[in-house]
């Protein structure tokens, strides 16, 4: 009888437990959404308003994909979220006008399967494939054939008035030719040809990173004379408001544009009737990408029929009848002019390739990492060689191979003393890296440690970056992490008198420093710079020891027992906490901060709880950091390498040797859909 009585109670308890877990998961998702929205808005302002992007395309695309996935699952978040968002609010430097027809973005796809998903939903399979020009969008309004107003995309609802600037561009006609509607808004892209970009950078005091930035910075000038002094070009590709239409397809509209006096990308455009056709066009354009005289970052695929376009309509921020098929990393060949050495916060000497500047995938690349002496030997690269350079993931430049050794090529000799402080350089037994031993007074190491301390995954102090640390260390205002917390008190008045600061920026910096005084334990462990201890390991140590004092007193044997902590790492941790100088600096820091103990919120009923999980390849819906955070919340133990102890390998696109190792060891392998299903 007692068993029957307790069973309903158990079911009630289980019901409310699951309800609470669902609410916790919901809170995590909503917090993640808010964080992503804040970041994307800031990135859009930097890109669209300031013409100075602060993140690469891959990082932006990852965040965009993730927030759209969240808003699909939580439609209420989409109402004022990213799904209704286009570009950035117009700058108050310009007059603004509403777009009569909203100027929307284009949804991105990154592989053939995503193209197929879109294609399979189409009624009309007649497609028009154009180049996706990497420039700045514009809308030019003509009334009775006369150009009367030009706008940027702006927020998609309203744009900035750049009429006078557009009038300086020869490719945008002041008066339309031939037969045209009474009212027509021609929309297109202002760009700068690569040759004109190189010429501008050779003669201008201001150096632009890539043609897109040069075009945007030149077009969005308050003084049209500056725009006129820089050689800009333009293509027309679509339309907004119009009084009448006598064309039926996108391909016909290109002909109309050319008859009115616009240039188009028709010479590179193609018709397609299947995904195989699209992929062939994609491959052909990729093969000849460097021969196109302007930068492109993909293809735009449109339903050719205008009637079908109108029938399909649009989402809140993008048409349903077109997609942008984005390109992957780009490569180029250039000369290796020199190899220099950078000294990091741990004293590691990293060789850096100084390259003859080359435009790769729209970015001017002049430097690339060579990692270490072993990598130089593996590549057999010499100063003076012609080398193949790739922007890995369209982000980090790296040397792939030597293309040609020239008569003037000479071997690089790795330095035996630190190029910054003159300290001895050693290579520990079994280690690849070469290290400066002068850790206490090497300026490069001190600056590197401070940059690490204020970074996003450490104390996350906004307003102190590389430039500020260099300035403050040169002034002797900051010599250790603890000095940051007395910076405003001691030097605030002097700072307010300096160029680039002022009352508002000093006040903001003080707020940022004060926020950082209350800090999670794992952030402290990561920030203090224990060799080999990264963000994930810091979280493991915080979870296991619960306090900094417990970690300080941990023995090597205790550390080795923890999954994810090997013998070498355990030795480094114990050595760090036995170092008299390091502990003096740490004790000094502890006077100014309040460490919050870890809450250890995990979904203990998850099938991932306690599992050792390795991520490999590229996930399309999550960044690597997001995926790791989710795994940790579900009780998993993310690992960096595959071993016999690994339980699950989650393999994204372009998975490499880790996937191969998992297959050989018979380890469970999930794709991104499997991962997503478990999360749900």
pLDDT tens-digit map of 204-223: 777 676 788 888 888 878 78
Give the helix ranges, DSSP H, for 160-262.
163-166, 194-203, 211-219, 224-228, 250-260
Three-state secondary structure of 614-648: EEECECCCCCHHHHHHHHHHCCCEEECCCCCCCCE
Q: Are 601 and 633 in contact (CB under 8 A)?
A: yes
Helix pair angle (57-73, 2-44), 10° resolution:
140
d(CA 642, CA 552) in angstroms, rounded, equals 29
Grouping H, G, I as helix, E, B as strand and the rest as coil, residue 177 is: coil
Residue 354: beta bridge partners? 338, 367
Contact 361, 448 (CB under 8 A): no
Q: Among all residues, which ones are annotated catalytic?
A: 132
The two three-digit tokens of residue 138, written as one number: 């514009």
- In angstroms, how far is CA 539 from the centroid of its own chain? 24
Task: Give pLDDT, residue 604.
Answer: 54
The number of CA neighbours under 13 Å toward the Cβ of 220 is 29
- Report d(CA 83, CA 69) in Å as an integer: 10
Q: Could you identify the residue written with the tokens 């927020």?
A: 155
| Helix 112-119 vs helix 275-287: crossing angle, to nearest 10 | 140
pLDDT tens per residue across span 21-42: 555 556 777 777 877 887 877 7
Strands (E), 67-114: 96-98, 107-109
The angle subtended at Cα 478 by Cα 477 and Cα 481, nearest 5°, is 155
With a cut of 70, list the residues of the chain below it in pLDDT.
1-26, 45-59, 79-80, 83-92, 207, 209, 329-330, 361-362, 391-396, 564, 597-605, 680
C-beta separation of 186 from 242 below 8 A: no
Taking residue 527's Cβ as centre, other Cβ atoms within 10 Å add up to 23
Q: Report DSSP state, residue 208.
A: P
* Burial 160-175, CB ≥16 within 10 A → b, else e: bbbbebbebbebbbee
CA distance 310 to 328: 31
Rounded to the nearest 5 degrees, what angle is found at the Cα of 102, between the Cα atoms of 97 and 105? 120
Sheet holding 146-152, edge to edge: 146-152, 136-143, 183-191, 233-242
CA distance 114 to 447: 45
DSSP letter at 414 equals: P
What is the residue-wise DSSP string for 574-630? HHHHT-HHHHHHHHHHHTS-EEEPP-----TTSTTTT-EEEEESB-SSS-HHHHHHH
What local confidence, expressed as pLDDT, does residue 132 receive?
Answer: 95
According to the 3-state scheme, what is the secondary structure of 643-677? CCCCCEEEECECCCHHHHHHHHHCCEEECHHHHHH
434-437: which pairs have CB atoms within 8 A and are 24 or more residues apart?
434/348, 434/349, 434/372, 434/373, 435/346, 435/347, 435/348, 435/349, 436/343, 436/347, 436/349, 437/347
Angstrom distance (rounded) from CA 400 to CA 367: 13
CA atoms of 296 and 604, how far apart (whole Å): 48
| Count of CB atoms situated within 10 Å of the CB of 66 | 22
Cβ atoms of 463 and 512 closer than 8 Å: yes
CB contact at 8 A, 293 and 191: no
Residue 250 Cα distances to 172, 173, 568, angstroms: 20, 21, 63
Helix (H, G, I), strand (E, B) or coil at 397: strand
User: For residues 121 and 321, what is the distance between their CA atoms, to the nearest angstrom?
Assistant: 10
* Cβ proximity of 469 and 447 under 8 Å: yes
Token pair 């999930």 is at which residue?
A: 670
Instruction: Specify the DSSP class assigned to residue 84.
Output: G
Q: What is the pLDDT of residues 304-314, one digit of tens each?
A: 999 999 999 98
Rounded CA-CA distance 273/531 in Å is 56
Rounded-to-integer distance, Cα 451 and Cα 448, Å:
5
Residue 58 DSSP class: H
Alpha-carbon gap, residue 261 to 175, rounded angstroms = 8
Of 126, 135, 133, 154, nearest to 240 by C-alpha is 154
* CA–CA dist 541, 555 (Å, integer): 13
* Cα-based angle 272, 276, 281 (whole degrees, multiple of 5): 60
Phi, psi of 31, rounded to the nearest 5 degrees: -65, -40
Q: Which domains does the chain have, with CATH numbers?
A: 2-84 (1.10.287.610), 96-326 (3.30.470.30), 331-413 (2.40.50.140), 443-596 (1.10.150.20), 612-679 (3.40.50.10190)
Question: For 437, how many CA atoms within 13 A lie in the half-sphere containing its CB?
Answer: 8
């Amino acid at each position: 009888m007692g068993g029957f009585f307790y069973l309903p109670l158990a079911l009630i308890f289980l019901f409310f437990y699951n309800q609470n877990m669902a609410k916790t998961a919901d809170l995590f998702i909503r917090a993640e959404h808010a964080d992503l929205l804040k970041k994307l808005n800031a990135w859009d302002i930097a890109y669209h308003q300031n013409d100075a992007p602060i993140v690469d395309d891959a990082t932006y695309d990852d965040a965009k994909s993730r927030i759209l996935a969240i808003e699909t699952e939580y439609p209420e978040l989409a109402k004022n979220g990213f799904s209704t968002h286009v570009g950035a609010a117009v700058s108050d430097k310009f007059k603004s006008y509403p777009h009569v027809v909203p100027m929307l973005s284009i949804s991105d796809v990154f592989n053939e399967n995503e193209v197929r998903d879109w294609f399979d939903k189409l009624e009309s399979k007649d497609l028009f494939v154009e180049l996706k020009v990497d420039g700045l969008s514009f809308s030019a309004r003509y009334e009775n054939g006369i150009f009367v107003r030009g706008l940027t995309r702006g927020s998609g609802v309203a744009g900035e008035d750049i009429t006078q600037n557009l009038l300086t561009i020869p490719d945008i006609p002041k008066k339309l030719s031939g037969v045209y509607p009474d009212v027509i808004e021609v929309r297109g892209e202002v760009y700068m040809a690569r040759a004109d970009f190189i010429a501008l950078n050779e003669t201008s005091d201001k150096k632009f990173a890539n043609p897109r930035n040069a075009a945007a910075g030149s077009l969005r000038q308050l003084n049209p004379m500056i725009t006129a002094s820089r050689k800009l070009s333009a293509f027309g590709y679509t339309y907004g408001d119009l009084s009448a239409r006598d064309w039926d397809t996108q391909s016909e509209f290109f002909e109309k544009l050319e008859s009115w006096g616009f240039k188009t990308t028709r010479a590179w455009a193609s018709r397609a009737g299947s995904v195989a056709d699209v992929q062939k066009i994609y491959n052909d354009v990729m093969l000849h990408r460097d021969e196109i005289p302007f930068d492109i970052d993909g293809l735009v695929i449109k339903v050719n029929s205008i009637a079908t376009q109108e029938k399909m309509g649009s989402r809140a921020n993008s048409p349903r009848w077109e997609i942008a098929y984005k390109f992957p990393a780009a490569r180029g060949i250039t000369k290796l002019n020199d190899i220099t050495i950078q000294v990091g916060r741990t004293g590691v000497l990293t060789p850096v390739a100084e390259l003859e500047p080359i435009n790769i995938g729209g970015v001017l690349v002049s430097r690339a990492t060579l990692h270490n002496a072993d990598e130089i030997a593996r590549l057999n690269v010499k100063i003076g060689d012609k080398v193949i350079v790739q922007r890995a993931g369209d982000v980090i430049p790296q040397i792939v191979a030597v293309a040609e050794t020239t008569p003037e090529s000479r071997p690089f000799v790795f330095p035996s003393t630190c190029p910054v402080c003159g300290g001895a350089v050693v290579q520990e037994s079994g280690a690849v890296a070469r290290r400066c031993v002068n850790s206490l007074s090497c300026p490069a190491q001190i600056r590197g440690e401070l940059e690490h301390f204020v970074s996003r995954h450490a104390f996350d102090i906004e307003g102190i970056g590389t430039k500020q640390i260099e300035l403050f260390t040169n002034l002797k205002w900051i010599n250790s992490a603890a000095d940051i917390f007395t910076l405003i008190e001691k030097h605030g008045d002097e700072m307010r008198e300096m160029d680039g600061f002022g009352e508002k920026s000093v006040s903001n910096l003080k707020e940022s420093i004060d926020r950082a005084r209350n800090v999670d334990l794992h952030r402290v462990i990561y920030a203090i710079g224990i060799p080999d201890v990264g963000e994930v390991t810091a979280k493991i140590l915080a979870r296991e020891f619960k306090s900094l004092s417990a970690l300080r007193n941990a023995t090597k044997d205790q550390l080795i027992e923890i999954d994810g902590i090997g013998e070498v790492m355990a030795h480094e941790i114990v050595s760090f906490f036995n170092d008299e100088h390091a502990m003096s600096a740490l004790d000094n820091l502890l006077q100014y901060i309040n460490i919050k103990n870890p809450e250890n919120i995990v979904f203990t009923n998850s099938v991932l709880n306690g599992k050792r999980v390795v991520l490999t390849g590229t996930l399309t819906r999550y960044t690597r950091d997001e995926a790791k955070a989710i795994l940790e919340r579900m009780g998993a133990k993310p690992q960096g390498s595959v071993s016999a102890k690994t339980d699950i390998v989650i393999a994204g696109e372009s998975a490499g040797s880790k996937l191969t190792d998992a297959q050989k060891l018979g380890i469970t392998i999930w794709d991104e859909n499997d991962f997503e299903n478990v999360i749900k």
